[in-house]
Homo-oligomer: A and B are copies of this chain.
Amino acid sequence: MVQKSKPPAVASEPERRGGPKRRGRPRAYEPEVALGKALDLFRKQGFAATSLDDLSEATGMNRPSLYGAFGDKRELYIKSYQRYREEARASMAEIFREDMPVRQRLERIFASALNIYLSGETGPRGCFTVVTAASEAVGDPEIRAMVLDGLTELDKAFASCFRRAKEKGELPESADPVVLAQLASATVHSIAIRSRARVSRKELEAIVKGAIDVMLGAKQ
């Protein structure tokens, strides 16, 4: 009953101009925006510490509207996480679109991660996957599956990055793309955690640089 009879207007644009006008009282909120606000909150505080009142205040929707639009708290959490993943995936795909040296690609990936983790008005927002893994993944199989999926997606992206590099001769034949990818993912996880402890951007960038050097064999 919530989103069943909703017209397939998935794209946000056709709504405002000459679109197939929705019947009934118009919404006082924009779902995309509201979901973004919810995402911010969940990312900052985690699931349990975020109350419906918090969400209601942040989104500007009162609880029943929230409930009607996104389902209960857990569903909203899952939808927020999905949206987060989509955004992360998009910026990742962007980096993989054009051709460039491995080092540069790695730098851009890590820079993108840092931007995601450090941006935020009230402090670093961190990584949703890490927050979720820490709190909800143990007890909720569905959420755990999403976390697992997020982790392996990152692994695969890095692995393909290193595989390409090997093909182009940027890495020695002895290099193992999967192992290097796990190290790169680990670096991401590490800066995700450290960013929450308010480690400075400078230090995090230094960690990234050191990790890249080792992975590309500049050191050692």
Interface residues of A (CB under 8 A from B): 44-49, 123-124, 126, 129-131, 133-135, 137-139, 144, 147-148, 151, 171-172, 174-176, 178-180, 182-183, 185-187, 189-190, 193-194, 196-199, 207, 210-211, 213-215, 217, 219-220
Contact = CB atoms under 8 A, between A and B. Distances in A.
A180 B48 contact: no
B135 A135 contact: yes
Contacts of A190: 182, 185-186, 189-190
B174 A219 contact: yes
Counting every copy of the chain, the complex holds 2
A158 to B, nearest CB: 12
Contact of A211 (B47, B186, B210): B186
A152 to B, nearest CB: 9
B148 A198 contact: yes
B124 A134 contact: no
Contacts of A144: 197-198
B138 A124 contact: yes
A183 B187 contact: yes
Contacts of A196: 133-134, 137-138, 147
A78 to B, nearest CB: 15
Enumerate the 4 nearest inter-chain pairs by beta-carbon distance, A residue then B residue, closest first.
A179-B210, A186-B190, A134-B134, A48-B48
B189 A211 contact: no
A171 B219 CA distance: 11
A136 to B, nearest CB: 9
Name, among A134, A178, A179, the residue most crowded by chain B CB atoms within 10 Å (CB to CB). A134
Nearest to A210: B179
A151 B197 contact: yes
B134 A126 contact: yes
A171 B135 CA distance: 39
Name, among A187, A210, A211, A214, the residue most crowded by chain B CB atoms within 10 Å (CB to CB). A214
A118 to B, nearest CB: 12
A138 B197 CA distance: 6
Given A174-B219, A186-B186, A135 B197 contact: no
